Amino acid sequence: MTKNKPEILAPAGSRAALEAAVRSGADAVYLGATEFNARRGAENFNEEQLQSAVGYCHIRGVKVYLTLNVLLKQNELRIGVEIAKAAQRAGVDGIIVQDLGLSRLIHTALPQLPLHASTQMSVTSAGALPLLKQLGFCRVVAAREMNARELSELCVEAQRLGMTVEVFVHGALCMSVSGQCLLSAMIG
């Protein structure tokens, strides 16, 4: 992604959705593994399918980001790290994470794997960015309820820290706080 060209990122909940996003001009896709992502209703990707998806995308110049964007219990953290390791072996371009404990473990085990702070992290302030940078994050997905002034401040601080900002411009909006909507969880 160049400084002046935004990256068009599309969801890919199945192989068919992935191929449609790539054919429609997406610069990148995000998808989930079989566990620990907020898109439980999607088909998602096992390790073999993930490798195939990354190969399909990379040969076409499209990046792939894996979502591990839910909170994990203590006894699930090891599995979360194993999923991240499998994703790195598959060649993903980054991991979108909500759980700070998991992100720290991933960053320790896989320091070269780019971490993106998920919208489920509810980052609504530029003040959060120095801590996220220290924890190994290179991108933050801004909370959708931010106004233009807050988003501008976030972008300025991110640029100062050498981080990028991702912003939702289309899709479902939560009735409550970005990524924390209980209604969505109940329906899903």
Task: Note the pLDDT tens digit of each residue in 57-74.
Answer: 999 999 999 999 989 999
pLDDT in tens, 78-88: 999 999 999 99
pLDDT in tens, 35-58: 888 777 788 999 999 999 999 999
Whether residue 97 has pLDDT greater than 90: yes
pLDDT at residue 183, rounded to an integer = 56
DSSP 8-class letter at 121: G
Contact 18, 49 (CB under 8 A): no
pLDDT at residue 68, rounded to an integer = 94
pLDDT at residue 184, rounded to an integer = 57
**How far apart are alpha carbons 66 and 46 in whole angstroms?**
11
pLDDT at residue 125, rounded to an integer = 93
φ, ψ of residue 38 in degrees (nearest 5): -80, 0
DSSP 8-class letter at 48: H
- Dihedral over alpha carbons 101, 87, 112, 95 (to 10 degrees): -50
**How far apart are alpha carbons 29 and 19 in whole angstroms?**
10
**How far apart are alpha carbons 104 and 95 in whole angstroms?**
12
pLDDT at residue 127, rounded to an integer = 95
DSSP 8-class letter at 33: B
Query: Please, what sign has the CA dihedral across residues 11, 103, 4, 60?
Result: negative
pLDDT in tens, 10-31: 999 999 999 999 999 999 999 9
Contact 116, 96 (CB under 8 A): yes
**How far apart are alpha carbons 93 and 53 in whole angstroms?**
12
pLDDT classification of 96: cutoffs 50, 70, 90: very high
Residues 145-171: what's their mean pLDDT? Answer: 91
